[in-house]
């Protein structure tokens, strides 16, 4: 319909062909809607009518509503045996789905249910079948139908915005972006995707830019039988694209028959900026930050800063800026970025206290930099109160609980994160680490194996497996895993530290000292976390130097110091008064 409106008849026929091949009900409108009259002179129009069983003369055009209703009554009498317990509309829908020779019935349903609302279709049967329980859904990455790499940020950004909007609803379990985006380039088997994600329904879509307009096609799919619950096409100008994400989220909630509170309704309709340029800059920032390499994260920071310059009250841009600084803080001097992250997060909350992303980012900066465990916990709790489906908040809170020795709570919290983000190897890897710190070493290795299966070339599970093997005294395996982690992420000095610790413990002290010297030399040109150097000295049995480097880590606010309470590699120091004093100053006693 959008292509007809834009005068692109070739594209219009291509989409009609596609919907006929998919046995969709949408083409059934074409012979009754005068909007399509401009296509009639083309021979392909008559061919389409024949293929879907519609009359090719003018008699079918412009039937009255009463005639349509009469046809429904006649049709119902012939289809009761096919759908004994369904409502009349659901019965007809089932027949349309399974019997090609009565496609005309789809037109009748469509006229009754959706005339005047564009391409809008819903099934009461599908919504009712999952009523009463907490529904589950994944929004798969919208396809960039423009085939323009420069437009990828928009298709990804609108997908993420829809995910974030829907995840605020208490009665809906929404898969995190990280797991959903694993299917960015392969969405052919929706049943299998839904099974992997553990959801009942999927949202799929595509976006195409035509001059100054965007055509967005969205579908809500019942994963149990791959049927379409609802679908719609949005044609938006650039100025209206911000509203599209809210309209999509609202339509999905409506067609899932969710009972929304007034607060939730407001959340779904909220625009965080009215400035289209700021919005596009924000989407570009997210697009680059999610690549997770320092150069790309720096690009993301630049885009966030530009968005804020245009709209100083754009709270999501401040939250994105805070998250980007946090991503950079691991191997860069903490005083350079974490205070900036905290300031950006505080600004986000100052503008909008109901932004879960802002509270999560602030919680992370307080956790890693201020070491104020109670204040950080309050921020994570507030974030989860606002958005119970926010996997990042569950993960951050689980990390805090684990590092402060509340292991049972930590494992429960990381399980919630995994339920929302089952295919993200990062979450599975951290669960392995938390199991290790809880004293469940074999269980930790089993969970890390799940992470390997998801992404064999991800450095983090190899690093944590190295730590688990150190705990078991299996130093050869520990060294191998640390070297694999280092190979995959050569910029991370933690892999060198773990490998060197294992070398020292296995009696290969000369090799360990050589690795130590390389880190000490590197520390003269860039920041190396003092915690990492202290680990190697501890493996070598040099207590004084170990304590000296831990003291330096305290002074420099090295985020890794937050692991002192639970990391088994420090167990030999727990009776040393100097170590105990550091633990007390960090409020970890």
Q: How confident is the model at residue 126 (pLDDT cuts 50, 70, 90)?
A: very low
Average pLDDT rounded to a whole number, residues 351-369: 97
- Residue 138 domain flag: yes
Regarding whether 205 and 131 lie in a shared domain, the answer is: yes
- Residue 366 domain flag: no
Regarding whether 173 and 205 lie in a shared domain, the answer is: yes
Q: What is the pLDDT of residue 589?
A: 85
Regarding whether 82 and 23 lie in a shared domain, the answer is: yes
Regarding whether 132 and 92 lie in a shared domain, the answer is: no
Which of residues 292 and 542 earns the better pLDDT score?
A: 542
pLDDT tens per residue, range 472-506: 999 999 999 999 999 999 988 999 999 999 999 99
The residue from 210, 232, 259 where one domain ends is 259
Q: What are phi and psi of 132, to 5 degrees?
A: 100, -30
Q: What is the pLDDT of residue 463?
A: 97
DSSP letter string over 470-537?
HHTT-HHHHHHHHHHHHHH-TT-HHHHHHHHHHHHHTT-HHHHHHHHHHHHHHTTTS---HHHHHHHH
- Residue 186 domain flag: yes
Q: What CA–CA distance (Å, rounded) separates 104 from 118?
A: 19
Q: What are phi and psi of 78, to 5 degrees?
A: -95, -5
Q: What is the pLDDT of residue 302?
A: 97
Regarding whether 222 and 135 lie in a shared domain, the answer is: yes
pTM above 0.85, yes or no: no
**Length of the chain (residues):** 589
Half-sphere exposure of 508 (CA within 13 A, CB side): 14
Regarding whether 132 and 38 lie in a shared domain, the answer is: no
DSSP, collapsed to helix, strand or coil, labels residue 39 as helix
Domain count, the chain: 2
Q: What is the pLDDT of residue 169?
A: 92
pLDDT tens per residue, range 371-407: 999 999 999 999 999 999 999 999 999 999 999 999 9
- Residue 178 domain flag: yes
Q: What is the pLDDT of residue 56?
A: 56
- Residue 270 domain flag: no
Regarding whether 144 and 96 lie in a shared domain, the answer is: no
The residue from 88, 117, 146 where one domain ends is 117
Whether residue 104 is predicted with pLDDT greater than 50 in this model: the reply is no
- Residue 8 domain flag: yes
Regarding whether 143 and 106 lie in a shared domain, the answer is: no
Average pLDDT rounded to a whole number, residues 29-36: 59
Contact 557, 337 (CB under 8 A): no
SS (H, E, C) 198-226: CCCEEEEEEEEEECCEEEEEEEEEECCCC
Q: What is the pLDDT of residue 21?
A: 58
Q: How confident is the model at residue 7 (pLDDT cuts 50, 70, 90)?
A: low
Min mean pLDDT across 122-126, 257-261, 380-384, 422-426 is at 122-126
Q: What is the CATH number of the domain that holds 195?
A: 3.40.50.10610
Average pLDDT rounded to a whole number, residues 412-437: 95
Q: What CA–CA distance (Å, rounded) separates 403 from 405?
A: 5
Which of residues 107 and 221 earns the better pLDDT score?
A: 221
pLDDT tens per residue, range 306-356: 999 999 999 999 999 999 999 887 778 898 899 999 999 999 999 999 999
CB atoms within 10 A of CB 450: 17
Contact 300, 288 (CB under 8 A): yes
Q: What is the pLDDT of residue 70?
A: 45
The residue from 117, 148, 180 where one domain ends is 117
Average pLDDT of every residue of the chain: 84
Q: What is the pLDDT of residue 214?
A: 87
- Domain of 199? 127-259
Helices then strands, counting H and E runs in the chain, come out as: 29, 6
Q: What CA–CA distance (Å, rounded) separates 492 from 331?
A: 7
Regarding whether 158 and 236 lie in a shared domain, the answer is: yes
Q: What is the pLDDT of residue 78?
A: 39
Regarding whether 134 and 241 lie in a shared domain, the answer is: yes
Q: How confident is the model at residue 237 (pLDDT cuts 50, 70, 90)?
A: confident
Q: How confident is the model at residue 124 (pLDDT cuts 50, 70, 90)?
A: very low
Regarding whether 208 and 156 lie in a shared domain, the answer is: yes
Regarding whether 162 and 51 lie in a shared domain, the answer is: no
- Residue 513 domain flag: no
- Residue 153 domain flag: yes
Q: How confident is the model at residue 58 (pLDDT cuts 50, 70, 90)?
A: very low
How large a percentage of the chain has pLDDT more than 90?
A: 63
Nearest to 482 by CA among 472, 497, 505: 497
Write the burial class of residue 56 (CB in 10 Å: 0-12 exposed, 13-18 middle, 19+ buried).
middle
Whether residue 84 is predicted with pLDDT greater than 60 in this model: the reply is no
Structure tokens at 560: 């890794």
Q: What CA–CA distance (Å, rounded) separates 179 from 429?
A: 14
């Amino acid at each position: 319909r959008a292509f007809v409106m834009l005068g692109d008849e070739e594209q219009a026929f291509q989409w009609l062909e596609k919907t006929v091949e998919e046995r969709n009900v949408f083409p059934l409108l074409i012979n009754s809607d005068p909007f399509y009259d401009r296509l009639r002179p083309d021979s392909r129009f008559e061919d389409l009518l024949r293929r879907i069983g519609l009359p090719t003369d003018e008699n079918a055009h412009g039937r009255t509503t009463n005639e349509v209703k009469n046809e429904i009554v006649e049709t119902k009498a012939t289809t009761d045996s096919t759908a004994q317990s369904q409502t009349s509309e659901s019965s007809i829908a089932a027949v349309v789905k399974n019997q090609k020779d009565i496609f005309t019935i789809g037109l009748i349903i469509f006229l009754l249910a959706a005339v005047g609302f564009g391409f809008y279709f819903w099934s009461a049967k599908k919504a009712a079948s999952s009523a009463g329980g907490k529904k589950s859904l994944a929004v798969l990455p919208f396809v960039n139908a423009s085939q323009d790499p420069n437009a990828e940020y928009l298709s990804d950004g609108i997908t993420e915005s829809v995910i974030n909007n829907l995840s605020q609803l208490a009665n809906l379990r929404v898969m995190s972006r990280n797991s959903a985006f694993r299917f960015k380039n392969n969405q052919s088997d929706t049943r299998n995707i839904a099974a992997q994600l553990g959801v009942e329904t999927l949202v799929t879509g595509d976006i195409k830019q035509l001059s100054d307009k965007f055509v967005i096609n969205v579908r809500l799919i019942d994963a149990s039988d791959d049927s379409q619950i609802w679908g719609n096409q949005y044609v938006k100008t650039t100025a209206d694209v911000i509203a599209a994400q809210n309209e999509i989220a609202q339509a999905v909630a409506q067609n899932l028959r969710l009972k929304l509170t007034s607060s939730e309704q407001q959340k779904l309709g909220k625009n965080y900026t009215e400035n289209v340029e700021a919005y596009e800059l924000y989407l570009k920032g997210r697009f680059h930050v999610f690549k997770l390499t320092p150069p790309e994260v720096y690009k993301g920071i630049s885009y966030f800063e530009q968005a804020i310059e245009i709209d100083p009250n754009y709270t999501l841009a401040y939250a994105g800026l805070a998250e980007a600084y946090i991503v950079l803080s691991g191997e860069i001097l903490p005083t350079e970025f974490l205070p900036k992250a905290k300031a950006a997060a505080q600004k986000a909350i100052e503008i909008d206290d109901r932004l879960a992303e802002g509270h999560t980012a602030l919680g992370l900066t307080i956790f890693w930099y201020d070491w104020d465990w109670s204040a950080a916990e309050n921020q994570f709790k507030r974030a989860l109160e606002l958005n119970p489906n926010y996997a990042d908040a569950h993960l951050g809170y689980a990390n805090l609980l684990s590092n402060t020795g509340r292991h049972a709570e930590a494992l429960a919290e990381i399980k919630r994160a995994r339920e929302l983000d089952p295919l993200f190897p990062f979450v599975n890897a951290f669960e392995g680490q938390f199991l290790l710190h809880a004293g469940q070493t074999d269980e930790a290795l089993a969970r890390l194996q799940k992470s390997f299966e998801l992404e064999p070339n991800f450095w983090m599970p190899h690093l944590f497996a190295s730590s688990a093997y150190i705990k078991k005294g299996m130093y050869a395996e520990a060294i191998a895993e640390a070297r694999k982690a280092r190979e995959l992420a050569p910029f991370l000095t933690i892999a060198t530290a773990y490998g060197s610790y294992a070398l020292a413990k296995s009696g290969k002290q000369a090799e360990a000292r050589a690795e130590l010297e390389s880190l000490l030399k590197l520390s003269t040109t860039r920041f190396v976390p003092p915690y990492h150097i202290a680990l190697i000295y501890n493996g070598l049995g040099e207590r004084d130097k170990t304590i000296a480097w831990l003291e330096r880590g305290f002074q420099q606010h090295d985020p890794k110091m937050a692991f002192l309470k639970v990391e088994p590699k420090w167990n030999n120091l727990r009776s040393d008064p100097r170590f105990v004093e550091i633990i007390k100053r960090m409020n970890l006693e």
